[in-house]
Chain A
């Protein structure tokens, strides 16, 4: 090519440019973009994401696309085209970031699910444990109640007491006192000592001591005698350590015979001390 052919081509270029593309495209050849700050900011934004150790490895493909978009924005172009390319590049960067955040969250999910399973398992284990402990406690309580009931029966049997509708009734025959006297015979306290043990063991129970006589003698005398004898029994129990508040003494006289007073055998049965033991307040009461 020589110099003579250059001029027409240059003229053609000018003509083509003006006719085809308009004046705006001439600016595309300007060496500096009109919005260098935004281009630089976009590049900085991309660099920041590329340096993000958590996100960058998850979005290699997206970062490649964003890099291409930023490079395109960095190319010389007119202001409008550069602004457009900057916009696209910024969007590509934001897309890469959002995709990265979504993938990071998905990556974390398994660990979170595992953590939740762990907690659930722990809760279930704890639940089973406490259910087992409750069952154990209930079983033990039942066993202990059963044992207590058996023990009570044994103790009632040892006490020689009868279970009646009035409660446990311990009947002491006319061996406690000499005729007409209200002092306990020294050898007669064995049954009373068993009663003391029983009342010690069941501190909720109270005792009513009733003195009874046969019909021999005056009624007032008999009532008085039976009261004195009941008091003597009560005093003995208190001396043995049973709280006085738990024992009531009552002289019934000849008012409540259990047999005929016409025979000696009947009168002997009627001369007695009955001790009625309350059943309330005890775990094994029925």
Chain B
């Protein structure tokens, strides 16, 4: 009866400006009061971490990847401690940490590839200049 009664109570008692607050309260309550583990979020975090690992984030964005791993571990610990609210937050944060690790890895690699091309162009130009200077 909790949620239904809550909504009706709020709708009837609160002024219109407070409706939004009530809705949030309801959602937040549903989450906070959850008694089942946030399996979907933990799985999502797990997959995001694996994806980052495949992209060699350990090499290019190790800080973010470490954060993701320890938050995933914390989420699992919270599940064991029946604190599902905390588990959910840790899982969500672990996912975005891992996604950031992947994104930063991609950026680092893309920039490194460009730098490599620039370096070889520079080497060609320098060689060209040297040859031009030397032949006459």
Contacts and interface: CB of A to CB of B under 8 A. Distances in A.
B32 interface: yes
Most chain B Cβ neighbours within 10 Å, of A77, A87, A103, A116:
A116
A127 B125 CA distance: 13
B28 A105 contact: no
Contacts of A280: none
B132 A126 contact: yes
Contact of B117 (A84, A98, A113): A113
Contacts of B96: 87-88, 91-92, 95
Interface in B15-74: 18, 20-22, 24-25, 28-29, 32-33
Interface stretch (A12-20, A43-51, A142-150): A12-20
A9 B2 contact: no
Given A99-B106, A130-B135, A9 B12 contact: yes
Given A99-B103, A123-B124, A84 B92 contact: yes
B38 to A, nearest CB: 13
B114 A109 contact: yes
B92 A115 contact: no
A76 B21 contact: yes
Given A9-B12, A28-B21, A119 B125 contact: yes
A130 B20 CA distance: 79
Contacts of B113: 105, 109
Contacts of A115: 117, 121
A213 B97 CA distance: 113
Contact of A29 (B6, B18, B118): B18
A76 to B, nearest CB: 6
A10 B13 contact: yes
Given A6-B12, A75-B24, A88 B93 contact: yes
Contact of B25 (A28, A94, A109): A28
A17 B103 CA distance: 41
Interface string A135-171: 0000000000000000000000000000000000000
A101 interface: yes
Contact of A122 (B93, B110, B117, B128): B128
Contact of B100 (A9, A10, A81, A91): A91
A25 interface: yes
Given A13-B13, A91-B99, A102 B2 contact: no
A120 interface: yes
Contacts of B114: 105, 108-109, 112
B29 A102 contact: no
Nearest to B21: A29
Contacts of A108: 114
Given A29-B21, A84-B89, A94-B100, 5 more contacts: A10-B9, A13-B9, A21-B29, A75-B20, A120-B124
Interface of B: 2, 5-6, 8-10, 12-13, 18, 20-22, 24-25, 28-29, 32-33, 89, 92-93, 96-97, 99-100, 103-104, 106-107, 109-111, 113-114, 117-118, 120-121, 124-125, 127-128, 131-132, 135
**7 shortest A-B CB distances, which residue pairs?**
A105-B110, A98-B103, A91-B96, A119-B124, A13-B9, A9-B9, A102-B107
Interface of A: 1, 6, 9-10, 12-13, 16-17, 20-22, 24-25, 28-29, 75-78, 81, 84, 87-88, 91-92, 94-95, 98-99, 101-103, 105-106, 108-109, 112-113, 115-116, 119-120, 122-123, 126-127, 130, 133
6 contacts: A13-B6, A20-B33, A78-B28, A84-B89, A99-B107, A116-B117
